[in-house]
């Protein structure tokens, strides 16, 4: 604020306008994110899973019990469960994501016949 007092009025106006525009755009961005989150929750609540005729690869972290696979077992007859390190919020970060990538790449190579 002290620095603003030494600026010419046009500069002060420019800086304040920029700050206000930034705050408004952040507010708009935040509202959009909240709207997308609401829509995703609504879609999740209304989604009805149907049987899947193919095979599934279920990546599960090591602190989850085997019951995690049971809903998937009702949807597909061929479900492979692979334990990966990390937790829900860390599994897609280094170093855990490296293991996830290796598992997925191995399965893709297998399907492609490599």
Quote the pTM value: 0.57
**56 three-class SS:** strand
36 and 59 assigned to the same domain: no
41 and 62 assigned to the same domain: no
80 and 100 assigned to the same domain: yes
Provide the domain limits for residue 7.
2-46
41 and 13 assigned to the same domain: yes
Say how far apart CA 34 and CA 56 lie, in whole Å.
Answer: 32
59 and 90 assigned to the same domain: yes
59 and 76 assigned to the same domain: yes
Q: Over the stretch 56-82, which tens digit does the pLDDT of each residue have?
A: 898 888 666 666 667 778 888 888 889
Q: Over the stretch 25-43, which tens digit does the pLDDT of each residue have?
A: 677 777 888 888 889 889 9
Beta strands (DSSP E) in 21-94 are 55-61, 78-84
């Amino acid at each position: 604020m002290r620095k603003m007092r030494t600026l010419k009025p046009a500069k002060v106006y420019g800086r304040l306008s920029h700050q206000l525009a930034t705050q408004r755009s952040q507010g708009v961005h935040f509202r959009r994110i909240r709207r997308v989150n609401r829509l995703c929750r609504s879609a999740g609540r209304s989604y009805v899973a149907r049987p899947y005729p193919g095979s599934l690869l279920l990546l599960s972290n090591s602190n989850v019990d085997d019951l995690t696979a049971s809903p998937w077992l009702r949807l597909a007859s061929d479900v492979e469960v692979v334990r990966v390190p990390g937790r829900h919020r860390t599994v897609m970060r280094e170093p855990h994501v490296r293991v996830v990538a290796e598992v997925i790449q191995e399965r893709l190579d297998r399907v492609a016949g490599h």
